[in-house]
Chain A
Amino acid sequence: MTETLEKLGLSLAEFQKLHAEAHNETGKKRLAIVASKGSLDMVYPPLILATTATALGWECGIFFTFYGLDALNKKKYKGLKVAPLGNPAMPSPLKGLPVYVPNLVGAIPGMTFIATALMKRWMRKANVPSIEQFVEMAHQKGVKLIACSTTMGVMGIKKEDLLPEADIQGAAAFLHFASKATVTLFI
Chain B
Amino acid sequence: MVQQTSQFNADHVLDVKNQLCPLPVIKASEVIQALASGQVLHILATDPGSKADIPAWAEALGHKLLKQEAANGVFEYWVQKG
Contacts and interface: CB of A to CB of B under 8 A. Distances in A.
Given A48-B21, A126-B20, A128-B20, A137 B61 contact: no
Contacts of B56: 56
A141 B33 CA distance: 13
B18 A127 contact: yes
B22 interface: yes
Interface in A100-116: none
A54 B25 CA distance: 10
A82 B37 CA distance: 45
A129 B27 CA distance: 13
B20 A56 contact: no
Interface in A113-143: 126-129, 137, 141
A43 to B, nearest CB: 15
A127 B57 contact: no
B58 to A, nearest CB: 10
A128 B20 CA distance: 7
Interface in A34-60: 48-49, 51-52, 54-57
B25 A52 contact: yes
Contacts, number: 34
Q: Is the interface of B mostly helix, strand, loop or mixed?
A: helix
Given A56-B60, A57-B61, A127 B22 contact: no
Contacts of A126: 20
Given A55-B57, A56-B57, A127 B26 contact: no
A49 B22 CA distance: 8
B65 to A, nearest CB: 15
B74 interface: no
B9 interface: no
Interface in B35-80: 56-57, 60-61
Residue with the greatest number of chain A CB neighbours at <10 A, chosen from B18, B29, B56, B57: B29
Nearest to A134: B22
Nearest to A49: B22
A81 B30 CA distance: 31
7 contacts: A52-B21, A55-B28, A55-B29, A57-B61, A127-B23, A129-B23, A141-B26
